[in-house]
Amino acid sequence: MDYSTSAADDLFVADLERRFTKGIAARADAADAAGALPEENWRDVVDSGYLRVFHPVEVGGLGLDGVTQARAMEALARACPSTFWSATMSALVCVKLIQTYGDPVEHRGLTDPLLSGERLACFPVVERTSGSDAGTYTTTVRRDGGRYLISGEKARITNATTADLAVVFSRLEGHESGWCYAFVDLRRPGVRTYAMPHLGLRAMPWGGLVFDDVEVDARDVVPVHLPEFPEGMAWGWLFISIAAIGIAESAFTAALDHARAQLAFGAPLGRMQAVQAALASMRAEIDAARLLAYRCSWHRTEGRLVQDLVGMLKPYATEMAVRTTERAVQVLGSWGLTPGHPVERLYRDAPMNVIGGFASNRLRELVATGLGLPAVYDDADRLAGTGLDLDPAGW
Ligand SMILES: Cc1cc2nc3c(=O)[nH]c(=O)nc-3n(C[C@H](O)[C@H](O)[C@H](O)COP(=O)(O)OP(=O)(O)OC[C@H]3O[C@@H](n4cnc5c(N)ncnc54)[C@H](O)[C@@H]3O)c2cc1C
């Protein structure tokens, strides 16, 4: 592994940090209070080049290495985790899915507007009845003469109310795989969306989509075999882990500043041994998660499957962020629980990442399977291996 970055890439990341700190970070508390992303955030994201960070030059990206991509992600995650989730779900996860499972040339018509910021995408997988258990999903694509129609409901979906395009994980009637990705134009008749309130990441659009016989072009229905499904999810696990690292770093910085500035018993609060221990543990755990994230991003960008590593990263990084924000609240006292203080917001944002994209316990099972322990499920209609068990020798 080579984690060194070029001077040009360092300048690019520094420029992102400067832009995002000045604009998006300054608006983060107001966006949280309003429960919506300001227009200016999207403009700043587009103008910065962030949407092109994840892709090779041939498909409209910047051709950056994995470590630079991870650093760029953290720059936005630190500024505003809600903006980060919304933009990265579209520009990273949805574009990768379309390019991987669709036709990289023919589907440029879908991916180019996502990379230029003219359009936004969402990735609806889970439904009202279940998240982890794909076996219960009912949304279905079926053939109707020369066309395809999709019907069903997806719930708890990032960008549900603002997206123009959905990469829907759906059942597919009449195909041996039984499943597909359907690239659904959300401006077509038969689509209804609704917003859902949420504890953290409040500015991130989140809600449900109802499809009532919505027409999907034949080339936009791509059969997928269930064991391949986690590969798309793995991009999500990586970005969600970096959301957690950004949240943890922001909470740590606020706690450290407070420990230096606040006087207690005639000395800075940070002279207390318990406060020092909390801050030292925060520092170590954030750096450990970041290093694993760089490792995942570097290998993935080099073209390797990293579902095993990302399966370990996501539970570790997201639960670390919950611990870190709790410790930050301890250091800050009641300021950390006061609406309007950034740490109060981060304390609500952190647990969203533990659940979002796959609950930790499911991932731990997949990691354990990769260690050679028996698989929890043998029913083929459930999420199977992640690649951990496909090539254990390659770890
Ligand atoms: C911020 C955020 C953004 C999201 N964005 C999207 C999105 O864009 N697209 C989308 O499709 N979904 C999205 N979701 C939904 C998310 O994917 C689901 O919440 C997640 O997959 C877990 O499903 P669930 O909430 O139904 O919990 P369940 O699957 O019902 O799990 C509940 C709990 O049961 C336990 N559990 C479940 N299964 C197992 C198991 N096999 N072994 C052990 N324990 C288990 C776990 O502790 C788990 O936390 C988002 C969620 C959040 C919080």
Enumerate the domain spans of the chain. Answer: 7-119, 122-224, 227-394
> Mind listing the pLDDT tens digit for each residue in 40-66?
999 999 999 999 999 999 999 999 999
Given the CA of residue 377, which atom of ligand 1 is nearest to it? Answer: 41
* Cα-to-centroid distance, 42 and ligand 1 (Å): 27
**Cα atoms in the Cβ-side hemisphere of radius 13 Å centred on 61:** 19
The Cα–Cα gap between 62 and 53 comes to 6
The pLDDT value given to residue 378 = 55
Mutation probe of ligand 1 site: the residue of 138, 241, 361 with most atoms within 8 A of C-beta = 361
* Cα-to-centroid distance, 72 and ligand 1 (Å): 26
The pLDDT value given to residue 296 = 92
Homologous superfamily in CATH for domain 227-394: Butyryl-CoA Dehydrogenase, subunit A, domain 3 (1.20.140.10)
Nearest CA to ligand 1 atom 49: 359
In CATH, what is the architecture of 7-119? Answer: Orthogonal Bundle (1.10)
Q: What residues of the chain score a pLDDT lower than 50?
A: 379-395
The Cα–Cα gap between 172 and 283 comes to 47
Are 344 and 33 spatial neighbours (Cβ–Cβ below 8 Å)?
Answer: no
Chain-centroid distance of CA 82 in Å reads 10
Closest CA to 392 of 376, 378, 375, 377: 375
Single pTM value for the model: 0.95
122-224 carries CATH number 2.120.10.30: no
The pLDDT value given to residue 337 = 97
The pLDDT value given to residue 104 = 85
The Cα–Cα gap between 199 and 59 comes to 36
* Cα-to-centroid distance, 131 and ligand 1 (Å): 5
**∠ CA 350-353-358 to the nearest 5 degrees?**
155
The pLDDT value given to residue 269 = 97
